Amino acid sequence: MPKITQSLDAEQAEFDSKVRQIEEWWTSPRQKHIQRPYSSARIASLRGLLPQKYASSDMALKLWDLLNEHRVNGTNEMTFGVTDPIIASQMAKYQQTLYVSGALCGFSEVSEPGMDCCDYPLDTVPKVVDKIFKSQCWHSQRQNHYRMLQPKEARANLENWDYLTPIVADGDMGFGGLTSTVKMTKLFVEAGVAMFHLDDLAIGKKKFTVGQGRTVVPTSEYLDRLTAARMQIDIMGAETMLLCRCDVDHSEFITDVIDARDHKYVRGATVPVKSLQETLKEAVEAGSSNPLEVRKEWIKSANLLTFDEAVQAIATPEEYTTYTTKLGSGNKSLKDRRAIAKETVSKDIFFDWDLPRSREGQFFYKSCVSGIVERALLAAPLGDVTWARMDMPNWDDIVSFHEQVRAVFPDRLFAFGYTGDYDYPKAGFTPEKVKSFPSDMAKLGVAWQVQPIWALQGINYQTEKFAKLWKERGIEGYVEVVQKPALATKPLTDGFEKPSYSGSYLCDAFWDTVAVRDVGEGGGGKISENRIR
Ligand SMILES: C[C@](O)(C(=O)O)[C@H](CC(=O)O)C(=O)O
């Protein structure tokens, strides 16, 4: 291996210049809102010596412009989840972005399918992004080639789609410790993603049917995750956008109480009872067949409250006012809260956040809008877009959340996901309100909106209909219900009619270019690239 012979002075000058370049880059309109907790020199020192350029940067800049245009106009992009390049190609005609959903990938892009538990390998979603991005490039190539086969005037009548729609992808909770997040980020950038989201959910603790809610990680862990991703994007010198998703809404647990900023939302038992785990163990040993019911009863008996709620329940109204005044608006730890309560409230406050801890050690957590706002505000400077993921669309909460964040960051971009099983009537939405929901949210700055799992509900529905038709009517049904309408659809659904979706012209052009010959009838007609040139 040859040694690098550069002088120390030259090496230092090169390094200093790289640091200056990074600093300049960070002041660009796309970058200037981001606040890094690390220096440009640290990033320069973390880079390798071979400068790389990533398509992810081009796609991110495109997305950045698109979403900011929407924000300024109070409009929005509407997209849906996709894992299949064929579906992605048709979306390009109506959507300006695509979403690669983790839930969908977990169902269809792995050898062992399962519910949206993020238990698939960390490269699963990046691989799907890579597949779709390459297909977008291919469509763009074949369309461009086909157009350039035609004389200039004829091109006016041809379809001309922008297949290079920026891809937004699901980074879930980063798939492990910080080095996993770094590796996943690298894969996303290399795959051509425009933006990906990282959530504050706990790894391995997504539960759906056991009557328990989501689990979030401490604020500090969430911010570290986002910082790890941002650092890796910076190391790569990419423009890739980071979407900070916060899952506090409807979260029932937090994994740890290491961060005092979370203390006011942690719930504890306010009566001296046996711990939940002891109670469950004893119940099971005594032959209980319904531990869920035992858990429910225990929760009732323990009167779970946050510390401040426990103070309010015990103190006189005057004492509580003195308590909250002394508390101020800072993020006091439980220890500080206890000390203030001791000074201001005459009775003792019983509060034990260990008694309710789950089998896996999680603490009970009170989800509320202020909790989401606090996290979103802390996360915002590390990312580009904010998403408060909601289990149910509560309009008042949606307005309150976005208004509070916008009061601090007026130009903030927001995202929103129409989770598949939203029950709109139950959430108080009239049909009119459902209709205006996207545009109402757009006025709050929610520039990017997604139905993440259409491919489950929608494709299942369409496939079931076609499977029935095929069984009952065979090829006649196919011709009448699929082929004829597909070929009659304008714009074309790219179903076997010229301009050839299959890319046959492109394929023939390769032969043609290599062999410098006409491709003959049935391929590209008599047109050859060499003749056009
Ligand atoms: C967006 C999401 O993360 C996904 O994996 O698609 C899911 C989708 C859903 O549950 O509808 C989520 O919102 O958690």
Please report, for the chain, the start and end positions of each structural domain, with discontinuous segments joined by +.
1-51, 55-250+369-452, 260-365, 479-532
Query: Which ipTM value was assigned to this complex?
Result: 0.97
Q: How far is CA 406 from CA 30, 134, 142, 242, 417, in A?
A: 19, 37, 43, 18, 19
Range with lowest mean pLDDT among 45-54, 61-70, 253-262, 497-506? 497-506
Ligand 1 atom closest to 81 (CA): 6
The verdict on domain 260-365 having CATH code 1.10.10.850 is yes
Q: Distance between CA atoms of 312 and 321, rounded to whole angstroms?
A: 9
Q: How far is CA 155 from CA 128, 142, 150, 225, 490, in A?
A: 33, 14, 6, 48, 17
Ligand 1 atom closest to 102 (CA): 5
CA of 441 to the centre of ligand 1 (A): 19
Ligand 1 atom closest to 106 (CA): 5
What pLDDT is stored for residue 224 in this prediction? 98
Contacts of 472 (CB under 8 A, 6+ apart): none
Pick the residue whose CA is nearest to atom 1 on ligand 1. 452
Q: Distance between CA atoms of 192 and 205, rounded to whole angstroms?
A: 29
CA of 33 to the centre of ligand 1 (A): 27
Contacts of 21 (CB under 8 A, 6+ apart): none
CA of 423 to the centre of ligand 1 (A): 15
Pick the residue whose CA is nearest to atom 11 on ligand 1. 419
CA of 103 to the centre of ligand 1 (A): 6
**Does residue 170 have a known ligand-binding role?**
yes
Ligand 1 atom closest to 199 (CA): 3
The residue assigned the tokens 């989401």 is: 372
Query: Going along 270-383, which residue ranges are E strands?
Result: 305-306, 363-365
Nearest CA-CA partner of 63 in 15, 85, 20, 96:
96
Between residues 107 and 523, the one the model is more confident about: 107
Element (H, E) at 386: strand 385-388
Q: Is the dihedral of CA 55, 29, 40, 374 positive or negative?
A: negative
Ligand 1 atom closest to 247 (CA): 14
CA of 453 to the centre of ligand 1 (A): 7
pLDDT band at 522 (very low <50, low <70, confident <90, very high): very low
CA of 281 to the centre of ligand 1 (A): 34
pLDDT band at 209 (very low <50, low <70, confident <90, very high): low
439 phi/psi in degrees, rounded to 5:
-75, -30
Pick the residue whose CA is nearest to atom 9 on ligand 1. 419
pLDDT band at 523 (very low <50, low <70, confident <90, very high): very low
Pick the residue whose CA is nearest to atom 12 on ligand 1. 419
Q: Which CATH class is domain 55-250+369-452?
A: alpha beta
pLDDT digits (tens, 9 = 90+) for 461-484: 999 999 999 999 999 999 999 989
CA of 168 to the centre of ligand 1 (A): 13
3-state secondary structure of 349: coil
Give the HSE-up count for residue 145: Cα atoms under 13 Å, Cβ half-sphere.
Answer: 24
Ligand 1 atom closest to 389 (CA): 13
The tokens for 101 are 């959903």
What pLDDT is stored for residue 496 in this prediction? 43
What pLDDT is stored for residue 210 in this prediction? 60
> What type of residue is 333?
S
pLDDT digits (tens, 9 = 90+) for 133-166: 999 999 999 888 888 888 888 888 888 899 999 9
Q: Is the dihedral of CA 110, 114, 115, 118 positive or negative?
A: negative
Nearest CA-CA partner of 248 in 220, 214, 212:
214
Pick the residue whose CA is nearest to atom 7 on ligand 1. 103
Nearest CA-CA partner of 195 in 165, 223, 161:
165
- The pocket around ligand 1, CB under 6 angstroms, is made up of 81, 101-103, 116, 170, 389, 417, 419-420, 452-453
Mutate to test the pocket of ligand 1, among 98, 100, 116 (most ligand atoms within 8 A of CB): 116
Q: Distance between CA atoms of 129 and 187, rounded to whole angstroms?
A: 9
Range with lowest mean pLDDT among 57-71, 94-108, 402-416, 451-465? 451-465
3-state secondary structure of 161: coil
pLDDT digits (tens, 9 = 90+) for 265-281: 999 999 999 999 999 99
Element (H, E) at 471: helix 454-478
CA of 415 to the centre of ligand 1 (A): 13
What pLDDT is stored for residue 358 in this prediction? 93
What pLDDT is stored for residue 532 in this prediction? 38
Pick the residue whose CA is nearest to atom 10 on ligand 1. 419
Pick the residue whose CA is nearest to atom 6 on ligand 1. 101
CA of 214 to the centre of ligand 1 (A): 13
Mutate to test the pocket of ligand 1, among 110, 453, 454, 457 (most ligand atoms within 8 A of CB): 453
Ligand 1 atom closest to 197 (CA): 3
**CA angle, 419 as apex, 139 and 374 as ends, to 5°?**
110
